[in-house]
Amino acid sequence: MDKFTKLTGIAAPMPLVNIDTDMIIPKVFLKTIKRSGLGVNLFDEMRYDREGNEIEDFVLNKPAYRNAEILVAGDNFGCGSSREHAPWAIKDFGIKCVISTSFADIFYNNCFKNGILPIVLPQEDVDKLMDDANRGANATVTVDLENQTITGPDGGEISFEVDAFRKHCLLNGLDDIGLTMEKSTSIDAFEETAAQARPWV
Amino acid sequence: MSPKTLYDKIWDAHVAHEADDGTCLLYIDRHLVHEVTSPQAFEGLRMAGRPVRAPEKTIAVPDHNVPTTPGREDPANMTEDSAIQVAALDKNAKEFGIHYYPVTDIRQGIVHIVGPEQGWTLPGMTVVCGDSHTATHGAFGALAHGIGTSEVEHVLATQTLIQKKSKNMKVEITGKLRPGVTAKDITLAVIGATGTAGGTGYVIEYCGEAIRDLSMEGRMTVCNMAIEGGARAGLIAPDEKTFEYVNGRPHAPKGAQWEAALNWWKTLYTDEGAHFDQVITLKGEEIEPVVTWGTSPEDVLPITATVPAPEDFEGGKVEAARRSIDYMGLTPGQKLSDIAIDTVFIGSCTNGRIEDLRAAAEIVKGKKIKDGMRAMVVPGSGLVRLQAEEEGLADVFKEAGFEWRLAGCSMCLAMNPDQLSEGERCASTSNRNFEGRQGYKGRTHLVSPAMAAAAAITGKLTDVRELM
Ligand code: SF4
């Protein structure tokens, strides 16, 4: 997995609430058996018309945001299906950090598995960053995971919370499966006890 | 010992390792797999040279993009990429030695219907699947939730999941439901009350008289949509109805093991005085048959209501409501029961079980669907289909003008050829009304099976109580 340490980039504003995974990556693109290549179809139905032409006023089509690496979004981002194609598409597009007041549970988990940092902030901080993001390419935002801070274009600093274990994994690009396998004696022991207690499972 | 909730009990029984910061390895008893969210996970195993740790606890079935029309076992009748995914599942199931129900098997169906039907899902278990509606299995008092593909790979490789414990929420539905009101109306009404993010960070336990009164089918409908309320999982404590449903199923315990299992299952309830971080109570008598008007499952109103105006909302929801109303082609103030419907879809893991088909057939019996209406019934599994045929329900539907399909997810997410066209309006028993969910620019109103049947007859959203 790619490491996430410090990111300085353009933030794109998407104030819509309840952006669901069907919007992030419509189901027609779920038929792949690969993880890569979904970036061109990120937000497909909002981004392109039926003929495949870009819809000009969609945020990621605007010149200022075509290289956005941070997304500032409305409440409950990523609700809906469990499809990991959503974070795969976001990552493939080049976005590495999503900021909102709240995320859907499965989406939030899926981000960490793919080297994306989802950040939950209070409404007023999100509003502030949404304003910054609205200023376009002239304004970059810096996300520092080590110090858990976000620095806006005017230098104002916002701090954020992140689970210590997940932070450690992101900073070091650690693969969950490898880490869990180091605990295989615990799993073996659990299986043995459980087989006694609940042999029907 | 301090009193525990049902969730606490199941959680405690499955912690294989706990780190100092509270991060746990939760042991997984059943892992269900389907063709859309698993190929990359198996590929990952292959690349790392890892086996499936517990193939005997892993069950695979293709459901999301298989066609529901005859001849579907022939890959030529599938789109190329669907055929590739189904072929990949075939291959992975064989290569890794996991239980498998191919499309040619009468037991094939939607993964969340097959699991309980075959007795794979049992009380007190942990159940996961790369699909958010895994919450369905919570109806058995199993801790069940959806996971992403990386987690699918993690469970395949280690039979565990890295988890932190959620908070406890109690949703109590008191009293009796009134006629025409079903499990679907309960679960939609709860989401209407909490919002789609209301359950985020929680595991919900549904309880109260109206929940106890539900059949296992109804309880599965309620838990199925826990995820639409944002919760990690929904749970209902097992009782005699649960045990009776499970008893005799192919993979349920037998003999002495059954007795042992039953003894443990009977301890699976929330202790008196256990702590809930949040409690929500709805009165069963006050729940009405509901429909959704917008493009989020929280956009719920009684069928007797009118389309709201964006100004009725606050904050970010104003813009979302404006977008929804526009997308849905509605006018604020319009009566919901005046909305004309083009298509009716009865099926999905929310409402594709035998009881759902019975409830719909009851309304349809002896009537014809409205001229020009497209209406289809897609049973949730081959066995549900067979039973419905034996009970004469299939004939009721066919005589009324419904299409009678083979089992699968079908128009619930429209990955197979069953899709809405642009602007087409559907009364659907599925669980999501998101933009484009049932087809590009398609418009979805979520309803119960009885309400869907009523809409098929009258050609518009209809208060089912008028047809009873
Ligand atoms: S029926 Fe719909 S919700 Fe259920 S598993 Fe299939 S696609 Fe998902």
Can you tell me the distance from the alpha carbon of B451 to that of B364, in angstroms, rounded to the nearest whole number? 11
Residues of B in contact with A102 (CB under 8 A): 197, 200
Q: Dig out the tokens for B250 from the structure.
A: 């192919």
Domains and CATH numbers, chain A: 6-173 (3.20.19.10)
Q: Dig out the tokens for A91 from the structure.
A: 């990552």
**pLDDT at B79 > cutoff 90:** no
Return residues 11-50 of A near B (CB < 8 Å): 15-18, 20, 22-23, 26-28, 30-35, 45, 50
CATH superfamily of B291-467: Aconitase, domain 3 (3.30.499.10)
Q: What is the pLDDT of residues A123-164, one digit of tens each?
A: 999 999 999 999 987 889 999 999 999 999 988 899 999 999
pLDDT band at A81 (very low <50, low <70, confident <90, very high): confident
pTM: 0.92
Averaged over B87-108, what is the pLDDT?
Answer: 97
Residues 6+ apart with CB under 8 A from A92: A36, A37, A38, A39, A40, A42
Q: What is the pLDDT of residues B138-155, one digit of tens each?
A: 999 999 999 999 999 999
Q: Dig out the tokens for B321 from the structure.
A: 């409501």
Pick the CATH number of B6-164 from 3.40.50.970, 3.40.1360.10, 3.30.499.10, 3.30.360.10: 3.30.499.10
Pairing of strands B143-146, B202-207: unpaired
Q: What is the pLDDT of residues B397-453, one digit of tens each?
A: 999 999 999 999 999 998 888 999 999 999 999 999 999 999 999 999 999 999 999
Of the candidates B312, B322, B324, the residue with the CA atom closest to the CA atom of residue B443: B324
Q: Dig out the tokens for A154 from the structure.
A: 């005017």
- Find the closest chain A residue to B198 by CA distance: A76
Averaged over A102-118, what is the pLDDT?
Answer: 94
Q: What is the pLDDT of residues B271-326, one digit of tens each?
A: 999 999 999 999 999 999 999 999 999 999 999 999 999 999 998 899 999 999 99
**Complex prediction ipTM:** 0.91
Query: Could you please report the per-residue DSSP string of A46-95?
Result: HHB-TTS-B-TTSGGGSGGGTT--EEEE-SSBTBS---THHHHHHHHHT-
- Helix and strand counts by DSSP (H, E) for chain A: 8, 7
Ligand 1 mean position, distance from CA B348 (Å): 6
Ranges in chain B annotated CATH 3.30.499.10: 6-164, 291-467
User: How much is the pLDDT for A40?
Assistant: 95
**pLDDT at B21 > cutoff 90:** no
Return residues 105-134 of A near B (CB < 8 Å): 105-106, 109-110, 113-114
